[in-house]
Every structure is written in C-alpha cells, then in structure tokens.
C-alpha cells in the first residue's frame, strides 16, 4: 500500500500555537479534522497520527524539534516508516507570499526558511514536495518578531480559507500527481 508522510512545520508549545510560523501545524490539524485522523501519538520527536485519505495510508506529523531542527524529526520518520522522498509532503509558512496565498512546488532551495533548510540538509536532497502558505512580509517590524506573532483579523480569514484549500491540494496530490496539483492550484 502506498504511504505518504505529510509534515506541517511549526514550533511546539502553547506559546506558538497560533503564530504565523505555525501555519504548517495548523494545516496538519485541519487535515486531521477533515479526514478524521485523530489518533495522535508521540514518535520520532514528532506528534503523529496515521489514517487514510482516499485509499492511501498517510502519516500526519508535527515535528517537536522546533523549526530550525525539523529535519531531524522528518529524517527519523522517513527511516522508521521507510518512506521515499517522493512520498514526503511538507507544509510551511512563506514570508514572500501574501497571507493566504498558496504555492506548490517539487524542488528548489529553502528560500531562507530554516525549517525547510533543515529538512533539505537532513535528506541531502531538495527534491521535496512543498506546500507553501503565504503569511505576508512585515514592513515595520523584525521578521523574527513578525513570524512569532499571531495573525491579524484579516489575515486569519485568508489563512483559514488557505487551510481548507490545503485539504483539496492533498487530495489532488494523492489522487493524481504533483504536476496536476500545481496546474490546478498554483
């Protein structure tokens, strides 16, 4: 049976739960609720839940290693469940996209994102399917301060719409392929 590892990036702890940098965690929570995958456990330095989307077995994961060490948890999950890189999907925040805008891609650099940079380093590959969710770029405040704060009211509406769209993107990636998802949703 085909197995997909879907990882949302963020930082663990209540303090970070609703911050911009945790949009990947939010996407995993949304997927878990939408597809009734609610059997959460701790494994490989991550919160994980397994279930099915369509006829495909999936593991949903939120690394507990903090953003810049995400690769360590992802590497452990890949090894434990013997998952190929083509079956890894990573969801994370992107400063260079407006809040709620989504971009899907199958390879490339980190774009300065420390979580994806860590995964690329641990996997020794940049051939990783990514779903980037825009959080917008700050104009007046430091980037680090910005990503660790909550969304404003307008942004949260757009983010919630984007999170629902991620459900559809994951379905497309499972039923069809990366090119189809990029053509349909980019």
- Domain map (residue ranges) of the chain: 3-185
Of 4, 21, 117, 132, catalytic:
21
In the chain, the N- to C-terminal Cα span, in Å, equals 29
Res 1: pLDDT: 58
Q: Residue 112 corresponds to which tokens in the numbers above?
A: 């300065």
The confidence score (pLDDT) of residue 145 equals 87
Instruction: Name the phi and psi angles at 32, rounded to 5.
Output: -60, -45
Exposed/middle/buried for 22, CB within 10 Å: 0-12, 13-18, 19+?
A: buried
What is the spatial distance between Cα 111 and Cα 147, in angstroms, rounded to a whole number? Answer: 15
Give yes or no for a contact between 133 and 102, defined as CB atoms under 8 angstroms apart. Answer: yes
The CATH-assigned architecture of domain 3-185 is 3-Layer(aba) Sandwich (3.40)
Q: Residue 63 contacts by C-beta under 8 Å, 6 or more apart in sequence?
A: 7, 9, 10, 45, 46, 69, 70, 72, 73, 74
Read off the pLDDT of each residue in 27-40 and give the average, rounded to a whole number: 96
pTM of the predicted protein model: 0.96
Give the DSSP letter string of 86-106: GGEEEEEEETTS-TT-EEEES
Indicate if 21 belongs to the active site: yes
146-162 pLDDT, tens digit per residue, is 998 899 999 999 999 99
């Amino acid at each position: 049976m085909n197995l997909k590892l879907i990882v949302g990036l963020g930082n663990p702890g209540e303090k970070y739960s609703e911050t911009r940098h945790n949009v990947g965690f939010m996407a995993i929570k949304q997927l878990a609720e939408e597809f009734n995958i609610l059997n959460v456990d701790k494994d490989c330095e991550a919160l994980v839940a397994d279930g099915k989307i369509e006829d495909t077995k999936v593991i949903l994961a939120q690394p507990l290693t903090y953003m810049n060490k995400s690769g360590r948890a992802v590497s452990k999950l890949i090894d434990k469940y013997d998952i190929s890189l083509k079956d890894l999907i990573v969801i994370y925040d992107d400063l260079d996209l407006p809040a709620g805008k989504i971009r899907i891609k199958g390879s490339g650099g980190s774009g300065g994102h420390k979580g994806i940079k860590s995964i690329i380093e641990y996997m020794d590959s940049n051939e990783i399917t990514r779903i980037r969710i825009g959080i917008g770029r700050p104009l007046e405040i430091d980037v680090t301060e910005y990503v660790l704060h909550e969304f404003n009211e307008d942004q949260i509406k757009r983010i919630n719409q984007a999170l629902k769209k991620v459900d559809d993107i994951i379905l497309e990636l499972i039923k069809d392929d990366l090119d189809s998802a990029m053509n349909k949703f980019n």
